[in-house]
Chains A and B, each alone.
Chain A
C-alpha cells in the first residue's frame, strides 16, 4: 500500500484556468511534503516544499498543508500549456532522509 495518495489521476484545464491537485498520506509519521513536476520524457524537478501548516505561494503556484489531516494541495492559477506535466507529491516522516512518492497527477492545459 502506497504511503502517499494523489488525486485526481488526470486533470484537464483550459489555458488561463485554475488547476487544483491533492495529496494525502496514510502514514501518521509523515511530517514534510514536497511537490515535484516531471515533463514528458524528463526527470522530476522540485517545484515547492511545505513543512508547516498553512499556505505558501510562489508566483502562480500555491501550496496548502494541513498536518492534522496529512493533506496537501497544489493550486496553479493562470495555467499555461507549459504547465502540462506529471505532478508528483512526496512525503517523509520519521526518517526525514527518505522521500516516498505518490503515483502522480497528469495535468494537461489546453490552449
Chain B
C-alpha cells in the first residue's frame, strides 16, 4: 500500500512561534495535499502541489505556507502560530484516479 509518513506526530507550540510539519511519500505520486480536520468541518484543504517546486492555495491558506522541494517531500509551515491553528493535520498523496493516501496525521496544539 502507498506510504505517506508525517512528522512529528504530536506538537505543542507557543503562540507566535514557527512550526514546520513534514510529509514524505514513497509512492512517486505527483500530487500532494495538506488538510486540517476539526470537529464539524470534515477535512479542509490548505495547500496542494502538482510536483517538485509547485505549491497551490486551497480553501484555507491564510496563515500557512507550503514547500515542495522534491517529489517525495511536502512541508506545511506556520510562520506565526496562533491558537486557532490547533488542529489535526493530514498530508496525502494522490494516486490512480486521484485516490488519496493519507499519512497518520499530526496533532498540533498552539498554546
Contact = CB atoms under 8 A, between A and B. Distances in A.
Interface of A: 2, 4, 6, 32, 34, 36, 42-46, 49, 51, 88, 90, 92, 96-104
B64 interface: no
Nearest to A100: B45
Interface in B34-72: 35, 40-45, 48, 50, 58-59
B100 A100 contact: no
Interface of B: 31, 33, 35, 40-45, 48, 50, 58-59, 90, 94, 97-100, 102-105
Contacts, number: 52
B50 A103 contact: no
Nearest to B48: A98
A92 B100 CA distance: 12
Give the interface centre of A45, A88, A97, A102 by most chain B CB atoms within 10 Å. A97
Given A44-B102, A101-B44, 14 more contacts: A4-B42, A34-B100, A43-B102, A43-B104, A44-B90, A44-B100, A46-B99, A90-B100, A96-B98, A97-B48, A99-B33, A101-B35, A101-B42, A101-B43
B55 to A, nearest CB: 13
Contacts of B59: 100
A4 B59 CA distance: 13
A32 B94 CA distance: 15
